[in-house]
Amino acid sequence: MRACNTRIRVFGNGVIADVPPDLGLYQVPSAVTTAPCNGNDCKTTFVSSFLELAGYNPTCIASSLSRCNQIEEPNNSAFIEDGVVVLCDHTIDNGGWTIFQHRTNLSTRENFIRPWIDYVRGFGDMSGEFWLGLDNLHTMTSWSQQELRIDLTDYEGEHRWAKYTNFQVGPTQDHYRITVSGYSGTAGDSMAYHNNQQFSTYDADHDTESRNCAQE
């Protein structure tokens, strides 16, 4: 998805395991987060110096950072006080994608059969499998038009993809209704059936099907 939440901490390389453990715990002073930037030159700020010592080439530290595609190089990083940690993919389809769900064939797999509250808040580990959370998705898709891209790889290594030019997740009072349209790709338009449907889990059935699909 092409967007990141406002006031967000972003790591541009898309691999959370490469981030030093203490880096994620570092609190950015508010004076730095609101400091003006001249182009992409923030080398004189304290946070930039800190990131450089950690092996990163930081972009501007600015309170207006809100998208993965504002981090132009794959190894660049940016910090903003408060927000949600996300992964940004800068390798597929011109980059700038926020990864909100990741499933793999790892031996240790995340359980995706979860109750409603887990899907609202998010769960998992960004070094493996995870779901970013419905609240975060609503925030990220509510302020401007967003795109959705789905990439699938089977056990034989064959890759297929689907892209949608319009993607939005509604608010909690509408049970995070999904709006998705404008398909292109090689995977087939499997999301057309789900357009305008509310989100469901095994303990909260909101879609239009007579049966509980999340239980099957």
Report whether pLDDT(27) > 70. no
| Paired strand residues for 201 | 204
Where is average pLDDT lowest: 49-58, 146-155, 201-210? 49-58
Provide φ and ψ at 196, rounded to 5°: 70, 15
- Residue 37: per-residue pLDDT: 38
Q: SS3 for 46-87, per residue?
A: HHHHHHHHCCCEECCCCCCCCCHHHCCCCCEEECCCCCCEEE
The more confident residue out of 206 and 27 is 206
Residue-by-residue DSSP string for 132-197: --HHHHHHHHSSS-EEEEEEEE-TT--EEEEEEEEEEE--GGGTT-EEEEEEEESS--TTGGGTTP
CB 28 within 8 A of CB 81: yes
Q: What is the mean pLDDT of residues 193-197?
A: 93
Question: pLDDT digits over 64-121, tens only?
Answer: 455 565 555 544 555 544 556 777 787 888 888 888 999 887 667 888 999 999 999 9
